Amino acid sequence: MNVIDKPLSSSSASGTFAGEIADLFRKLGLSLAADRGSDLAVYSPIDGAPLAMLKMHRADDMDAMVANAGTAFLAWRQVPAPHRGELVRRYGQLVREHKEVLSRLLTIENGKILTEARGEVQEVIDICEYAVGLSRQLFGLTIASERAEHRLTEYWHPVGPLGLISAFNFPAAVWAWGTTVALVCGNSAIWKPSEKTPLTALAFAKLLQRVAADYEFAPDHLVQIAIGDAECGGIIADHPGVSIVSATGSVRMGQDVGVRVQRRFGRSVLELGGNNAAIVAPSADIGLALRGTIFAATGTCGQRCTTLRRLIVHDSIHADFVKRLVAAVGSLEIGSPLEDATHVGPLIDKAAFDAMQRALDRARSEGGTVHGGERIEVSGFPGAYYVRPAVVEMPAQSEIVCEETFAPILYVLSYADIDEAIALQNGVSQGLSSCIFTSDVREAERFQSATGSDCGIVNVNIGTSGAEIGGAFGGEKVTGGGRVSGSDSWKNYMRRVTATVNYSTSLPLAQGVKFDLDID
Ligand code: NAD
């Protein structure tokens, strides 16, 4: 047994789950020995206690990593795409075999309830299958040429190393969305996970590295992982050797990363904060709207980018809907995410709890009536931050309602007609996810039309969270405009070539331009 595989309580970490982490890594056939250090303390939100101490990568490590990624890219881009897909297929199979262990690890480090953790691991498996299919479908176009005996085509080549910066709330899926697609497109990849969830990241990355090591076509350093904080992410943003930066996180992070990548004319895909709304129309199926609303508002303890944060309810049903909503949220089981009966696990840390309480104070000062929102003591875990999700009746869409507070706070507004509801829905700077609960086909279509929701995700009779992998995922306005995966977003990871071939004996110029020269 190597040092790190001992229960960590003996040295630098002493929480209830430190020993189990080592055990889970052992079950995966992985070791953390080389990753251990004294730079970064990792905690479990379940009990607020340490899980592990890790070493962080420094600037010179990052330089070496980027150089290695560049070399790996030169080899990998020559491997036929279906063979690249085979690597991803093997990885998906390995993740499937270890689904339960990976889900438990994810819950222990991130705090989402086990069923949601299993869903996230399933998402990794699903995206692998999606990417494998894609590896045989990276198709171009044939375009009608205006010139006789000319062929005009568009096709796609790998673009270069991907640098992927990810947030704590989806510690595996977002990486898999970007990385598996980038790999089948012919790129190498470096992952800078959140400093709050590096253990889950190490497990997923090391499993992929193991598959790559056993795959004859995969070069060394095809997939690397960088443990670090914002500074480490900044190095990726600035580095000219990173062709494409996919960054998922807060708007503040995206404002920094986006500008830094743009300054060097790199390519970025930004997946940033949301402030998602649901409209509940008078014709809605109320039971369905309540269930959809409650999961969307409280799932992952309100820490999804697609979490429902604003509820816009028609005047005629507002009072009754809010009464039922408050009662239902009041009855949710709050507790250990490892227990089957739990609906809502802990917040990630104290900073998240403090931000939630500050937001609730501001809501009160802006005229809101707060239901719930208090800290809940969960037996055995006094150092953790469990909360009752808050439902806040607001007199108007005031300043605090327009902000994304990454915690379970649902602001409730009312509306008189659909134009007003859509104006409220669109009246914030974020543009990620939106939905309407209605049985009126005109309203449903209007909501999805050009004069409806301005978000990247527009749902009818479904909550704002829980997107499937097939559709392009991302949002507009300060959400960043990126589409990290799904649909045709593979094109983000490739460069487009427009090629014209002249197979005639003359040289006609486009647009009829004449340039006659007397040359044989
Ligand atoms: P965060 O912005 O604090 O951190 C995200 C990642 O960016 C981390 O890896 C962090 O180390 C890195 N980072 C932070 N500042 C950086 C900088 N200046 N330069 C380079 N890297 C930097 O976000 P978080 O608290 O981990 O996650 C919550 C946020 O992420 C929310 O706003 C949520 O809406 C958003 N999010 C968006 C999506 C989406 O698809 N749109 C998905 C998940 C999370």
Summarize pLDDT for 149-176 with one digit per residue, the tens.
Answer: 999 999 999 999 999 999 999 999 999 9
268 alpha carbon – ligand 1 mean position (Å): 14
Q: Which of 120, 166, 196, 248 to mutate to test the pocket of ligand 1 (most atoms within 8 A of CB)?
A: 248
CA-wise closest residue to 218 among 243, 190, 183: 183
Q: Are strands 430-431 and 141-143 parallel, antiparallel or unpaired?
A: unpaired
Can you tell me which residue has the tokens 């494409």?
244
User: Each residue of 92-107: pLDDT tens digit?
Assistant: 999 999 999 999 999 9
Which sequence positions are flagged as catalytic? Answer: 271, 305
Atom 19, ligand 1: which residue's CA is nearest?
Answer: 234
Can you tell me which residue has the tokens 């299958």?
129
Pick the atom of ligand 1 nearest to 192's CA. Answer: 9
464 alpha carbon – ligand 1 mean position (Å): 19
- Is the pLDDT assigned to residue 254 strictly greater than 60? yes
Q: How far is CA 404 from CA 287, 309, 366, in A?
A: 27, 8, 16
Mean pLDDT of 118-140: 98
CA-wise closest residue to 106 among 192, 198, 195, 39: 198
Atom 28, ligand 1: which residue's CA is nearest?
Answer: 249
Confidence of residue 4 (pLDDT cuts 50, 70, 90): very low
Question: Residue 179 in contact with residue 87, Cβ under 8 Å?
Answer: no
Atom 18, ligand 1: which residue's CA is nearest?
Answer: 253
Mean pLDDT of 109-116: 98
Question: Residue 106 in contact with residue 120, Cβ under 8 Å?
Answer: yes
- Report the C-alpha gap between 409 and 297 in whole angstroms: 7
- Report the C-alpha gap between 432 and 454 in whole angstroms: 9
Question: Residue 252 in contact with residue 408, Cβ under 8 Å?
Answer: no
Query: Cβ < 6 Å from ligand 1: which residues?
Result: 165-170, 174, 192, 194-195, 229-230, 233-234, 237, 248-250, 253, 256-257, 271-274, 305, 404, 406, 432, 475, 479
Mean pLDDT of 465-469: 93
Question: Residue 88 in contact with residue 222, Cβ under 8 Å?
Answer: no
Q: How many separate helices (H) and strands (E) can be counted in the chain?
A: 14, 21
166 alpha carbon – ligand 1 mean position (Å): 6
User: Mapped to the 3 state alphabet, what secondary structure does 388-445 carry?
Assistant: CCEEEECCCCCHHHHCCCCCCEEEEEEECCHHHHHHHHHCCCEECEEEEECCCHHHHH
User: Each residue of 298-346: pLDDT tens digit?
Assistant: 999 999 999 999 999 999 999 999 999 999 999 999 999 999 999 999 9
Confidence of residue 16 (pLDDT cuts 50, 70, 90): confident
Residue type, 60: D
Pick the atom of ligand 1 nearest to 432's CA. Answer: 41
- Is the pLDDT assigned to residue 9 strictly greater than 50? no
Atom 16, ligand 1: which residue's CA is nearest?
Answer: 230
pLDDT score recorded for residue 14: 58
Structure tokens, 318: 């507002």
Higher local confidence (pLDDT), 81 or 2: 81
pLDDT score recorded for residue 15: 74
Question: Residue 438 in contact with residue 480, Cβ under 8 Å?
Answer: no
Provide the 10 A C-beta neighbour count for residue 61.
17
Pick the atom of ligand 1 nearest to 236's CA. Answer: 20
pLDDT score recorded for residue 5: 36
Pick the atom of ligand 1 nearest to 194's CA. Answer: 9
Confidence of residue 12 (pLDDT cuts 50, 70, 90): very low
What is the percent of the chain where pLDDT is above 90? 96
Q: Which of 197, 245, 250 to mutate to test the pocket of ligand 1 (most atoms within 8 A of CB)?
A: 250
Average pLDDT of the chain?
Answer: 96
Task: For Cα atoms 283, 287, 289, give the angle at the middle one, nearest 5 degrees.
Answer: 65
Residues in the chain: 520
- pTM value is 0.96
Higher local confidence (pLDDT), 289 or 10: 289
Burial of 219 (0-12, 13-18, 19+ CB in 10 A): middle
Atom 30, ligand 1: which residue's CA is nearest?
Answer: 249
Mean pLDDT of 228-237: 98
Question: Residue 359 in contact with residue 368, Cβ under 8 Å?
Answer: no
Confidence of residue 6 (pLDDT cuts 50, 70, 90): very low
316 alpha carbon – ligand 1 mean position (Å): 39
Pick the atom of ligand 1 nearest to 475's CA. Answer: 41
322 alpha carbon – ligand 1 mean position (Å): 32
99 alpha carbon – ligand 1 mean position (Å): 25
* 319 contact partners, CB below 8 Å, separation of at least 6: none
- Report the C-alpha gap between 149 and 116 in whole angstroms: 57
Atom 35, ligand 1: which residue's CA is nearest?
Answer: 249
Extract the runs of DSSP E, i.e. beta strands, from 159-307. Answer: 162-165, 189-192, 223-225, 244-248, 267-271, 276-280
Mean pLDDT of 236-242: 98
Pick the atom of ligand 1 nearest to 274's CA. Answer: 34
Atom 8, ligand 1: which residue's CA is nearest?
Answer: 194
Atom 26, ligand 1: which residue's CA is nearest?
Answer: 167
Going 423 to 424 to 427 to 428, the CA torsion angle's sign is: negative
Mean pLDDT of 467-474: 95
Mean pLDDT of 350-377: 98
Structure tokens, 136: 């045989």
Mean pLDDT of 363-375: 98
- Report the C-alpha gap between 179 and 267 in whole angstroms: 15
DSSP β-bridge partners for residue 43: 50
418 alpha carbon – ligand 1 mean position (Å): 33
pLDDT score recorded for residue 520: 78
Q: What are phi and psi of 142, to 5 degrees?
A: -115, 125
- Report the C-alpha gap between 472 and 200 in whole angstroms: 25
394 alpha carbon – ligand 1 mean position (Å): 28
Classify residue 461 by its DSSP letter. S
Question: Residue 120 in contact with residue 113, Cβ under 8 Å?
Answer: no
CA-wise closest residue to 197 among 40, 11, 76: 40
- Is the pLDDT assigned to residue 7 strictly greater than 80? no
Pick the atom of ligand 1 nearest to 165's CA. Answer: 9
Going 214 to 86 to 179 to 351, the CA torsion angle's sign is: negative
Pick the atom of ligand 1 nearest to 251's CA. Answer: 32
128 alpha carbon – ligand 1 mean position (Å): 23
Provide the 10 A C-beta neighbour count for residue 395.
11
- Is the pLDDT assigned to residue 137 strictly greater than 70? yes
Burial of 76 (0-12, 13-18, 19+ CB in 10 A): buried
363 alpha carbon – ligand 1 mean position (Å): 24
Atom 40, ligand 1: which residue's CA is nearest?
Answer: 271
- Is the pLDDT assigned to residue 2 strictly greater than 80? no
DSSP β-bridge partners for residue 436: 279, 460
- Is the pLDDT assigned to residue 354 strictly greater than 80? yes
- Is the pLDDT assigned to residue 13 strictly greater than 90? no
* 127 contact partners, CB below 8 Å, separation of at least 6: 173, 176, 177, 180, 181, 469, 485
